[in-house]
Amino acid sequence: MHPNDPGLRSFVDVDPSSDFPIRNLPYGVFSTSNSPAPRVGVAIGNHVLDLAVLDSEGLIDLGAAKGVFAQSAINAFMALGPKVWSQTRTRISQLLRHDNAELRDNAALRKRALLPRDQVTLHLPLEVKGFTDFYSSKEHATNVGTMFRDKTNPLLPNWLHIPIGYNGRASTVVVSGTKVKRPRGQLKPPSAELPTFGPCKRLDFELEIGVVIGQPSAMGEMLTEAQAEAMIFGFVLLNDWSARDIQQWEYVPLGPFQAKAFATSISPWIVTREALEPFRLHGPTQDPMPLPYLQQRQPNNYDMALDVALRAPGMAAPASICTTNFKYMYWSSVQQLVHHASSGCAMNVGDLLGSGTISGPEKHQRGSLLEISWNGTEPVELPGGIKRSFLEDGDSLSFHGWCQGNGYRIGFGEVEGTIVPSA
């Protein structure tokens, strides 16, 4: 049976509402108190399957690449290429099937390899070689342009022709649960004559999906649509934290810099492109037609539900402030990668591409506080009379994302971050 087959069942008990059924098998890096060296595993229900143990026991055939799962990042495995990715996922699926005795009936091996997820520590799943953030939601770009530029013509002339992006900082990509220190920078409100230096006062989140690049491209070479797709290993939830007031002062003429360099949070589980295959669909109609190198012949968007919840100090539980869908993105992940390489820019195993803020056409689908509060003029009302225009110290943001199948879901778990004071 194909690993995406709806009829698959695992001997591991998996709740239908779980993000991690046997059809998902996302990759992550984890450690335990008894074995503190980080290694690669996959999530299955409420457990983590230790791939380093299975590899050492000869249950996964990686040939000369034996040992790639006993590493603190998934890069070495990704470098083996799409054929190995698919073969390995198929083999893991076989080992977890309800009718396969290899792992199911080996109690000693199960005890070593199948670990309760609440007893492991999750780490950054990849060594991020480079980080590029895009600006690919038409709804988001329209909202921002309406607020700050021209209500009658909010999109800049190039936006409908080119996936806009900027090179960010790989050094501050962190895993879910890492606390985010409020950034400091130069601030200059419109009423001030000169800038000052201090903590950001308009701290925001950006709801994004991160694309994990698993194969390289050579400097000087362009990519076809098919080549770009094959280079994508998988996807993560991504929060590209944003200091709006620092950005407002610094971004002219070269764009975001320190306002985006202080932290980018990603989920600990990388959901493979193959697992998301049943949920592909065509994105919005692109008008005008992109230039030939950016034209798409296949569906490259995904029907993926997304939710953002905010928990302020004093709240008993997080409150949802945004529900949207990845399908609304105007520029697809494949187009972003094709364009990124089009100048001759080399791509590396472990590069991370941020989709850009994901907003939809409705008010509840706005993927940043800048949009939700309309630049602070319409504060968000939370339980207990709490209001937010931008994030305050102690606030926690959590993203969830999933593709809904018939009786199962393919999910990402969570990416969470809590704001702590700058000093």
Looking at the fold, whether 153 and 238 belong to one and the same domain comes out as yes
CATH number, domain containing residue 60: 2.30.30.230
Looking at the fold, whether 116 and 151 belong to one and the same domain comes out as no
Looking at the fold, whether 110 and 160 belong to one and the same domain comes out as no
pLDDT of residue 1: 87
Query: Considering its fold, how many domains does the chain have in total?
Result: 2
pLDDT of residue 150: 85
Looking at the fold, whether 93 and 222 belong to one and the same domain comes out as no
Looking at the fold, whether 187 and 214 belong to one and the same domain comes out as yes
Digit-coded pLDDT (tens) for 179-217: 999 999 999 998 999 999 999 999 999 999 999 999 999
Q: What is the largest CA-CA distance in the chain?
A: 73
Q: Which of 93, 123, 153 is the last residue of a domain?
A: 123
Looking at the fold, whether 135 and 119 belong to one and the same domain comes out as no
Looking at the fold, whether 227 and 346 belong to one and the same domain comes out as yes
Residues identified as active-site: 140
Looking at the fold, whether 58 and 178 belong to one and the same domain comes out as no
Looking at the fold, whether 149 and 102 belong to one and the same domain comes out as no
pLDDT of residue 403: 98
Digit-coded pLDDT (tens) for 80-92: 999 999 999 999 9
Domain containing residue 352: 131-420
226 close to 215: Cβ distance less than 8 angstroms = no
Is residue 274 in some structural domain?
A: yes
Distance, C-alpha 20 to centroid of its chain: 16
**pTM of the complete model:** 0.97
Q: Which of 102, 123, 144 is the last residue of a domain?
A: 123
Is residue 254 in some structural domain?
A: yes
Looking at the fold, whether 315 and 337 belong to one and the same domain comes out as yes
Residue type, 58: G
Residue type, 123: H
Low-confidence ranges of the chain (pLDDT < 70): none
Is residue 18 in some structural domain?
A: no
Q: Which of 91, 123, 155 is the last residue of a domain?
A: 123
* Cis preceding linkage at 253, omega within 30: yes
Alpha helices in 292-344 (DSSP H): 333-342
pLDDT of residue 149: 86
Looking at the fold, whether 362 and 228 belong to one and the same domain comes out as yes
